[in-house]
Structure 1
Amino acid sequence: MDEEIIKVSPLPKTWIFDIDGTILKHNGYKIDGKDSLLQNSKEFFEQISKQDLIILITSRSEEFKESTEKFLKENRIRYDHIIYNVPYGERIIINDKKPSGLATAIAINTERDKFCNTKFIVDESL
């Protein structure tokens, strides 16, 4: 699969990631009895600017809060908030465009258990 390149503005960003099948193996905590990172997910998180906000969402119940957050901490996956008990269906983001025309919402659907093959390039003209 070819790497997708998306141009983004230099403004601070909000990143929203699903956990299972996106950063971690889907249901690994149930199937294998433990979580495991998907290839390249840790490196991607390390490249996110410290100015940016990271929100993780998951259909996992609060029952798995302690073990999930412990795993993320041990693996140095930075985040600001985690929302548990998220419904299984579509995640819909609605946002306005800047007066300049800058689209302020980007959606990427990845293949399950494969971290996104996307490179974000800052375009100072945006």
Structure 2
Amino acid sequence: MARPILKITIPRNISESFSYVIDCLGGVGFSMVSPVSQKIATWNDHGDQLLFEYSDFHEILRKDEQGNLQFWKNANEDIFVHWKKMGDRSKYLIYLDGLSGETQELLISTFSNLILSRLRYDYRGGIAFAIIFE
């Protein structure tokens, strides 16, 4: 079965756009701090998990042109968020597999609301929001 991925482009630099992502995910009950380790997790190109203190979060955002973080709703429900800097825009891939259908729908609704109600007039064309099956 193909896994659903939410693709979002936000017409803001990475620091500004990531605050929107955190707000949307937090509004649905997700946190970037693991309920088990009390740290934030990212993954390197070799597939190894790297754990950091929450205070190091902004360094992770600034470090590379692209990156990723894991967000948790609880110890059993998490999502993977990948981002790519694109000048004055930021592209996000949010992997929804492993979530209940209800949680997937809630996340999709939350992000579509962000785009249609708060950011609509900042887009100058292109894809702002898509659900991809991979």
Q: Which structure's CA Rg is the greater one? A: 1
Q: Which has the higher helix share?
A: 2
TM over 0.5: no
Q: Which has the higher strand share?
A: 2
Q: TM-score, normalised by structure 2?
A: 0.27
